[in-house]
Chains A and B, each alone.
Chain A
Amino acid sequence: DGGITQSPKYLFRKEGQNVTLSCEQNLNHDAMYWYRQDPGQGLRLIYYSQIVNDFQKGDIAEGYSVSREKKESFPLTVTSAQKNPTAFYLCASTGVSSTDTQYFGPGTRLTVL
């Protein structure tokens, strides 16, 4: 089955720790995105990547880092510099033939203890 997987589903972090959220897709999509969603809030773009080895900051990139070494993978690291990281993190992707339609993974819920 084609789709987007995110792991883990739930993640707990102590203050001062870096954590990495995984996002993998087998849809052969070239563009991938990371969003953050807070309770009652819309989606805010953290980073996006349109091709391998290239990525751009979104609206709230501070305290986050990404890499895009493979087309299928776009991991997000939440660093200790992110002061309020507790949120629902969503990964999405879109392909050239998808005309901007973004498809989402199931999400990772990060909680800082």
Chain B
Amino acid sequence: DAGITQSPRYKITETGRQVTLMCHQTWSHSYMFWYRQDLGHGLRLIYYSAAADITDKGEVPDGYVVSRSKTENFPLTLESATRSQTSVYFCASSDPDRGRGYGYTFGSGTRLTVV
């Protein structure tokens, strides 16, 4: 199916464990993003990628690692999960060639709970 898919939808993990959240898009959009959503903070940018093998930090990158070996995939890894990383994580993609008014397309999110 065309679109942007995140997996898993829900995840519970223990403090100190490594967790990887997956994001896959089918449009070959060059830009991909990871945001976390927390009450009172809206969405905050964790990492973004302008193309395969090009990634850069956002506002809140500490404790996270990303990679982008293929255009369509942009996994987010929590190297050693902490309770403060309990959040809803959203992946998004964007095609800058469509101009200033083109927004993002978001996945459905992953709700991560760290216990």
* A and B assemble together: no
The residues of A with any CB-CB pair to B shorter than 8 Å are: none
The residues of B with any CB-CB pair to A shorter than 8 Å are: none
